[in-house]
Structure 1
Amino acid sequence: MTILTPFIILGALGILFALLLGFASKKFEVQVDRRVLKVREMLPGANCGACGFPGCDGLADAIVNKGAPCNSCPVGGKETADKLAAFMGADAVDSAKQVACVMCQGTPEYATEKFKYKGIMDCRVNHNLQGGSKTCPDGCLGCGSCVDVCDFDAIHIVNGIALVDKEKCTSCKKCIEICPRNIIKLVDYDQDVYVRCNSHDKGKDVRQYCKVGCIACGICAKMCADGFSVEDNLAHFNNAEGLDPEQVQKAVDKCPTKAIYPGLKIKEEQAKAKAQEAAVKEA
């Protein structure tokens, strides 16, 4: 009996603690809205924060309890938005898919440098060193900070500048937020024309340091007034419905510096980038 006493005491204590824990779990139970759990299951789970909320859990709670739009998740896109709208009994919001685009094509053959940067490969460090190695104050520095933060392998450095693979881009905006020169913008996925320049300098200054920069000559706006405008020394393309494709193409062809970049050429660059990656892996 003396030998069994400790085991009996430990068993009794175990039962007592189990009862206490069971009581505490019921007493202090946090009620979770099952709708939040269901919405959370529908979200992709990237936890990228692109929606503006602290991860997918935060967005799920915001959709159910705070009226956040069902299309708040850029990673999930329209498919996820439609599922959420159906579950929440809300009207589906038809929003165009967007992707990131680097508004610079100043590769070494086209854009000059003030000095050769040999520091750590971080665009922010480069930018803070005498305003950056590239002469253009708005040109891509090509150190790859945007590449490092992309969780979807959607952006790479090709020939000295960043290039986005629109098929992989989820418009999470991480590359936009980390770029010290603010040259990465969101554009519509189906947009075929971009003014791939972000310089607001006068045309004569742009010509000094970049062969493919926008010089704000206004020819594009004259050729296609509905599609192009020039503000603060920089041309902008209006991707609106009803534009005459022939007029847009004329504007693209007449651009003296080829700063207006057709999407077809971007796809060609993407193909080259993938080919280069494949060659490196095989080597």
Structure 2
Amino acid sequence: MLMPTAILAAIGLISGLGLAIAARVFAVEVDPRQEEINDGLPGANCGACGFAGCADFSAALIEGKVGPADCPVSDQATRQLLGEILGVAVGESARKVALIMCQGGLSVAHKEGRYNGQASCASADLIGGGEKLCSYGCLGLADCQEVCAFGAIEMTEEGIARVIPSRCTACGKCVAACPKHLISLVPTDAEIHVLCNNTDKGAAARKACDVSCLGCKKCEKSFDEDPRIVVHNYLAKVDYRKPPTDQAVVEVCPTGALTVRLFDHQDQEQRPL
């Protein structure tokens, strides 16, 4: 009786010693800064940085594969903290926010049919592009809202999506989810925007939506030199590298597609002027 017990004890002892030796031999050293970086990160685990979660991102930070600014969810204070931990300089970067490039709600966008399928923008887009006459506009079935982990998108009574800037982290999930490619990440200090995605010629665009861009170039021509709004394929686009600052330019737009949006974080909405 004692012999089997002794044998089992010896096997357990040898196995334990073997595991202890293996643990030392194959141990992976963890940089002591990683825990500090993990504590400093937002902890959203949203994957917007391209990694599975914040832990993987922190490891890549230490390895020098990414920089503090590559976490789109972090604010400037967090990036500065990460820079201090890593001993690297972090420059100022403009905060961005998601913006829905469409204001074609129920009262202004005309319909050409009725969609009775699955309540999904992606599905509706596959079936004739949705029920609106404008094939470029917001479908209003909330795919962008569904993927937002921060509750930063709501659906309005007009049947289109709206971003709540104070909650938006510019992670980009909504950008990828929109089948109409209507959502862009823009600097929060930009005030003037073209909220239209329609590249049809003027008459067709106006027939589809009362607030569509006509590609008339009046906004572009309002700049004597160095235009900050450029028309391409009958659609005006703001150059967000040097966005216009004179709000008077919106007055030349005949439809209201060119408009002012102030990202007021206290009001928690994209607020028209």
Tell me, yes or no, whether TM beats 0.5.
yes
Give yes or no for contact 2:250–2:260 (8 Å, CA) kept in 1. yes
Q: Is 1:148 the equivalent of 2:146?
A: yes
Could you list the runs of 5+ residues in structure 1 that have no partner in the other structure? Answer: 273-283
The residue aligned with 1:196 is 195
- The offset of 1:39, in angstroms, is 2.6
Match in the other structure for 1:38:
36
**How many pairs does the alignment contain?**
267
- How much has 1:241 moved relative to structure 2? 6.3
CA separation of 1:102 and 1:266: change in aligned 2, threshold 3 A: farther
CA contact (8 A) 2:166 2:268 kept: no
Q: Mark the CA change 1:269 to 1:41 in structure 2 (over 3 Å): closer, same or farther.
A: closer
Aligned-partner Cα distance in 2 for 1:25–1:115:
66
Residue pair 2:164, 2:268 contacting (<8 A) in 1 also: no
Change (3 A) 1:117 1:256: same
Against the structure 1 CA distance between its residues 242 and 204, is the aligned structure 2 distance closer, same or farther, given a 3 Å change threshold?
closer
Moved more, 262-271 or 101-110: 262-271
Partner of residue 277, structure 1: none
1:212 aligns with 2:211: yes
CA contact (8 A) 2:109 2:209 kept: yes
Provide Cα deviations, 1:63-95, integer angstroms capped at 9, x if missing partner.
221342221101012112111112222111211
**Counterparts of residues 1-283 of structure 1 (less than 5 Å):** 13-158=11-156, 159-225=158-224, 226-239=227-240, 245=245, 248-264=246-262, 270=269
Partners of 1:84 and 1:177 in 2: CA distance: 27
CA deviations 1:155-180 (Å, max 9, x no partner) are 01112111011111001000001111
Per the normalisation by structure 2, the TM-score is 0.87
Distance in 2 between the 1:92 and 1:240 partners?
A: 20
The 1-side partners of 2:59 and 2:49 are apart by 12
Residues 264, 271 of structure 1: alpha-carbon distance in 2 compared, 3 angstrom cutoff: closer
CA offset digits 1:163-218 (Å, max 9, x no partner): 01111100100000111111100111122221101111111110111000111112
Deviations along 1:217-270, whole A, 9 cap, x unmatched? Answer: 122223345442222211122456695x5xx32221231111112115998893
Give the distance between the partners of 1:31 and 1:264, measured in 2 at CA.
48
Say which is worse superposed, 113-122 or 232-241, in terms of deviation.
Answer: 232-241
Q: Which amino acid aligns with 1:235?
A: A
TM-score (norm 1): 0.84
Cα distance between partner residues in 1 of 2:268 and 2:64: 43
Measured in 2, the distance between the counterparts of 1:19 and 1:106 equals 70
* C-alpha distance in structure 2 between counterparts of 1:19 and 1:58, whole Å: 32
CA distance in 2, matches of 1:197, 1:214: 6
- Measured on the aligned residues, the alpha-carbon RMSD in Å equals 2.6
